[in-house]
């Protein structure tokens, strides 16, 4: 378990705090700056800039980006990963039982939704800092500074750089 996972497990084991969910999301997307990232997660939240996109387009754009990065992928694997990403982040409003354990807690963040006209269109939602949690936003800034060996980050970077607030949330 990672250090942040241990902290969350100790202080918020039921994932009641938005900061905990935001940090889990960040950990999936960033993977501690490792080159062994989850390709679909990193690509979807950091590389793909469109706010509304079909699952097929996510696969296609992620495949093109990964090839440019020199990472081998298969469409079949990417399709499974896109389905997994959607299951993790889309809140299933049809589930009424709060005890239902099949619902991912990351759906509570509200990062993704589907179009009311076409459920195959995935939309990124911009979240307010209160929804994300200030502690997690500050942690992300500190990790970014550590990974990039800097103690300065401009507002433009926070908005536009990979693995920072503007791209992640």
Question: Are residues 62 and 109 both part of a single domain?
Answer: yes
Question: Are residues 43 and 88 both part of a single domain?
Answer: yes
Question: Are residues 49 and 118 both part of a single domain?
Answer: yes
Structure token digits, residue 168? 């992640």
Question: Are residues 113 and 49 both part of a single domain?
Answer: yes
The number of domains in the chain is 2
Question: Are residues 133 and 164 both part of a single domain?
Answer: yes
Structural domain including 99 reads 38-125
Please give the pLDDT value at position 56: 96
CATH number of domain containing 92? 1.10.10
52 in Cβ contact with 115 (< 8 Å): yes
Question: Are residues 105 and 117 both part of a single domain?
Answer: yes
Pairing verdict, β 121-124 and 52-54: antiparallel
Question: Are residues 100 and 75 both part of a single domain?
Answer: yes
For 48-54, the CB contacts below 8 A with 24+ separation are: 51/123, 51/124, 52/115, 52/121, 52/122, 52/123, 52/124, 53/121, 53/122, 53/123, 54/118, 54/120, 54/121, 54/122
Q: What is the pLDDT along the chain (169 residues), one digit of tens a residue?
A: 889 999 999 999 999 999 999 999 999 998 766 666 789 999 999 999 999 999 999 999 999 999 998 888 999 999 999 999 999 999 875 555 556 567 899 999 999 999 888 888 999 999 988 889 999 999 999 999 999 999 999 999 999 999 999 999 9
Question: Are residues 93 and 165 both part of a single domain?
Answer: no
DSSP states of 98-118: TT-TTS-GGGGG--EEE-SS-
């Amino acid at each position: 378990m990672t250090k942040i996972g241990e902290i969350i497990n100790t202080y918020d084991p039921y994932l009641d705090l938005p900061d905990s969910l935001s940090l889990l999301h960040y950990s999936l997307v960033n993977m501690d700056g490792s080159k062994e990232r989850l390709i679909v997660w990193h690509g979807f939240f950091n590389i793909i800039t469109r706010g509304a996109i079909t699952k097929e387009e996510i696969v296609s754009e992620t495949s093109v980006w990964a090839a440019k990065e020199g990472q081998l992928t298969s469409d079949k694997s990417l399709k499974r990963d896109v389905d997994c990403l959607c299951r993790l982040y889309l809140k299933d409003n049809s589930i009424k039982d709060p005890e239902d354990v099949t619902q991912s807690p990351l759906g509570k963040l509200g990062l993704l939704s589907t179009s009311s006209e076409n459920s195959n269109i995935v939309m990124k939602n911009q979240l307010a800092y209160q929804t994300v949690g200030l502690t997690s936003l500050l942690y992300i800034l500190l990790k970014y500074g550590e990974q990039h060996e800097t103690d300065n980050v401009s507002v433009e970077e926070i908005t536009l750089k990979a693995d920072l607030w503007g791209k992640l949330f």
